[in-house]
């Protein structure tokens, strides 16, 4: 009536015995199969561009890869710190080499330009100035990351690692320039390279202000900055130099490639010129910082010399009563002034006159 049947005792008793045995000797738990780590949020934006204009709406990269193989159309896929599973899925859609997949998952790459198959891999370092009230021994001045561009004939994939170098403003600015955007995937490479070099110049201007403030503090009469502050800034400058200086060689090689269209070459030449300015500025910062550091070390040495002279001057003054007291402490029977009632005041007066004269002489000499 209710959809169940009455169980027989021959069925109930074995089940009860089995449960009792399981309670005494429980079965080992089955290994839980964890799903493979996947990071779909790594996809920041994916768009199809045709004749210098973005197609409306959002599209998945697998669909975009099928639709963008026609002439005059390409895909710009933006990623932020993708994992291996995401990159393998993207590699299947865009026919990427397995080496590119492995290189794209990890960050911290050096600026480079290489061609793997039909794909050109361009690596740029990103830089951002970290605001701080004052420079300390642990202050972070420059934060860096990297952006990898995978450029094909009908697609460009940007992979960003680290906090600095967000590419959303670059996409917005480039979409306002259809004449440049329609030149293909290399137009994205130009726009990103131009923005990175502008960031280098902005960071350089901010660091220059730090150096000027550090220089003023080093030569003021007040308490000067510690040596550790200079070395911390030097470490930050080394990181900044690693982002700026190595980019020269890949950018020169890029202009020799046949990939970028002729219409973009003047733009890349302009980027190279601004990069040269950034390189000169960074090199100048390094020389200036070394000069300030040497001046500060010289000041420390002079301060130590002044302290030693002052100690020596007071030691000379203290030696006068010590020598006189030592002589009269020999306890000889016949010593001048021993039996005279004016002996003790006379010795004290001699000590005061000699110490006073020595203090006046050392004060004029600048030792006190």
DSSP symbols for 189-226 = HHHHHHHHHHHHHHHHHHHHHHHHHHHHHHTSSSPPPP
Task: Answer with the residue of higher pLDDT: 201 or 312.
Answer: 201
Instruction: List, in order, residues 6 or more apart from 171 with CB less than 8 Å away.
Output: 45, 47, 76, 78
Read off the pTM: 0.72
Question: 319-363, pLDDT tens digit by residue?
Answer: 888 888 888 777 777 777 777 787 788 888 888 988 888 888 888
Q: Pairing relation of β-strands 73-80 and 155-161?
A: parallel
The H helix count followed by the E strand count for the chain is: 11, 7
Average pLDDT over residues 135-142: 79
Nearest-angstrom CA–CA distance, 193 and 278: 13
Q: Which of 366, 358, 283 is nearest to 321 (CA)?
A: 358
Which of these ranges, 73-82, 97-106, 112-121, 298-307, has the smallest mean pLDDT? 298-307
Q: How far is CA 74 from CA 88, 166, 267, 349, in A?
A: 20, 21, 20, 100
Q: Which domains does the chain have, with CATH numbers?
A: 40-300 (3.30.460.20), 304-364 (1.20.58)
Q: How far is CA 8 from CA 4, 11, 163, in A?
A: 13, 5, 69
């Amino acid at each position: 009536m209710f959809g169940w049947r009455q169980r027989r005792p021959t069925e109930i008793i074995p089940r009860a015995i089995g449960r009792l045995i399981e309670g005494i000797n429980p079965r080992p738990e089955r290994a839980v199969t964890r799903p493979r780590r996947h990071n779909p949020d790594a996809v920041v934006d994916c768009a199809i561009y045709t004749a210098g204009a973005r197609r409306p709406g959002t599209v998945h990269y697998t669909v975009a890869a099928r639709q963008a193989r026609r002439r005059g159309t390409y895909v710009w896929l933006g990623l932020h710190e993708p994992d291996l599973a995401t990159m393998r899925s993207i590699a299947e859609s865009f026919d990427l080499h397995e080496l590119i997949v492995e290189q794209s998952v990890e960050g911290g790459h050096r600026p480079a330009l290489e061609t793997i198959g039909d794909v050109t891999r361009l690596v740029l370092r990103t830089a951002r100035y970290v605001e701080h009230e004052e420079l300390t021994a642990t202050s972070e001045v420059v934060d860096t990351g990297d952006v990898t561009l995978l450029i094909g004939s009908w697609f460009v994939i940007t992979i960003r690692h680290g906090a600095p170098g967000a590419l959303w403003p670059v996409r917005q600015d480039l979409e306002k320039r259809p004449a440049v955007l329609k030149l293909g995937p290399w137009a994205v490479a130009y726009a990103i390279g131009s923005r990175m070099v502008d960031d280098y110049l902005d960071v350089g201007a901010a660091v220059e202000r730090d150096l000027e403030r550090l220089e003023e503090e080093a030569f003021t009469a007040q308490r000067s900055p510690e040596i550790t502050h200079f070395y911390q800034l030097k470490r930050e400058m080394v990181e900044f130099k690693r982002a700026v200086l190595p980019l020269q060689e890949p950018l020169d090689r890029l202009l020799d490639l046949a990939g970028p269209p002729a219409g973009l070459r003047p733009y890349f030449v302009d980027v190279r010129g601004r990069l040269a300015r950034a390189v000169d500025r960074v090199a100048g910062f390094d020389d200036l910082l070394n000069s300030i550091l040497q001046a500060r070390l010289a000041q420390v040495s002079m301060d130590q010399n002044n302290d030693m002279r002052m100690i020596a001057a007071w030691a000379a003054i203290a030696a006068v009563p010590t020598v006189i007291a030592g002589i009269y402490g020999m306890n000889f029977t016949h010593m001048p002034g021993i039996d005279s009632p004016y002996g003790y005041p006379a010795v004290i007066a001699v000590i005061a006159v000699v110490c006073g004269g020595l203090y006046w002489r050392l004060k004029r000499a600048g030792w006190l």
